[in-house]
Amino acid sequence: MPTPPRTHSSALPGMRALTPAERASAVAKAAGLHPDTLAPLHSAGALPHAVADGMIENVLGTFELPLGVATNFTVNGRDYLVPMAVEEPSVVAAASYMAKLARPHGGFQVSTTAPIMRAQIQVLGLTDPHGARARLLAHRAEIIETANSKDTVLVGLGGGCKDIEVHLFPDTPIGPMLVLHLLVDVRDAMGANAVNTMAEMLAPRIEAITGGTVRLRILSNLADRRVVTASLRLPVAALDTEALQGADVAQGIVEACTLALIDPYRAATHNKGIMNGIDPVVLATGNDWRAIEAGAHAYAARNGRYTALTAWELAGDGHLVGTLEMPMAVGIVGGATRTHPGAQAALQLMGITSAEELGHVIAAVGLAQNMAALRALATEGIQRGHMRLHARNIAITAGATGADIARVADAIVAAGDITVARARSLLGG
């Protein structure tokens, strides 16, 4: 994929007042792209049935979600306009507003570890499990060399199997079990196909070395060696509202996060809010949002207790500091990222040139979304802002079209009666 021009600025004021076609034009101009480049993101039928039919089985058609663009994001010093495919109101607006608050203060700083994925090879029927483990470790170099022998392209790019681990479970309901992990640098791929292929190919050799029987050979979605860390730092004054001092808002954010850190019931909702930001970008870029979800929640429970994926602190110099740490197994080659025209357009809109860079942007959006939720909880409450945007859906359900959508939505919000019945009465129905 050719490298597109860098985004000029992710700050696009007045987007709400534009039509979808006008927004598409403004976004293309800001990204330095020809308008036709973004057509798969805003044109009806951008995923042809012939392409969809080749992606999955028993295709009947396609299913569309609203696709918006989050603005104001600065990540590692670079501006991004971020496509988000999501049905829930307030998500795009909330992420964009938090990015706007962070923007004057350096935006988001993000780093990641190497793109290491795991393949697991399960071995059963062992009479000497400890001895089998020792034999596998003794054959480490051979196993790595064999794993890499079938993927010379990946190895040529600097990737490939880098190491092994051997995990022993001496007492299970089905007897002693050994699990060999292949640690594979998958470069710009998500990596499932690469690691699964290596595991399948190695199975006979693993049986020969151990004297056991190989059963499962498949990747793990707990990508705990492929972790992204995002952070932001802003003065508490940036959180000032008409009714509250920023210091009080910041304290409320820290207090709300603390409950998620200690209570799994709150942590589940807290982390769901993070994924409200992450999943839409993963989906828009053709990546596997289910794998990201599985990895995130497993990582949140890695120490034996489910907890928050973010931490919010008040630094001694009067700044609010937020951090997010989680696995981020995304790719820009292979799978739907290559076959879906919309996914390709989404990557071009952001100017993404590596899986690492994509992971950085996704993590920044997740941290922004978390901040938005905690800020709402610390101020007006999350339901008020959410329902203000949900009112448009209610108006549409009641039959409003065109200019009537905004008129009816504003009226039912003002009346505090955000119901279909109230909307219909305002339409004369």
In a 3-state reduction of DSSP, which class is residue 233?
Answer: strand
Active-site entry in 150, 386, 410, 417 = 386
In a 3-state reduction of DSSP, which class is residue 73?
Answer: strand
Active-site entry in 150, 272, 319, 390 = 272
Residue 360 CB-half CA count within 13 A? 25
Q: Identify which of 278, 271, 277 has the alpha carbon closest to the alpha carbon of residue 308.
A: 271
Active-site entry in 79, 188, 279, 288 = 288
Whether 279 is catalytic is no
Give me 166's structure tokens.
């051997």
Whether 288 is catalytic is yes
Active-site entry in 88, 200, 240, 325 = 88
φ, ψ for residue 171 (rounded to 5)? -135, 100
Q: Identify which of 163, 98, 137, 117 has the alpha carbon closest to the alpha carbon of residue 310.
A: 98
Distance of CA 162 to the CA centre of its chain: 26
DSSP string, 400-425: --THHHHHHHHHHHHHT--SHHHHHH
Q: How far apart are CA 257 and CA 261, in angstroms?
A: 6
Whether 386 is catalytic is yes
Whether 167 is catalytic is no
**Sign of the torsion angle spanned by Cα atoms 200, 206, 212, 216:** negative
Catalytic residue set: 88, 272, 288, 386
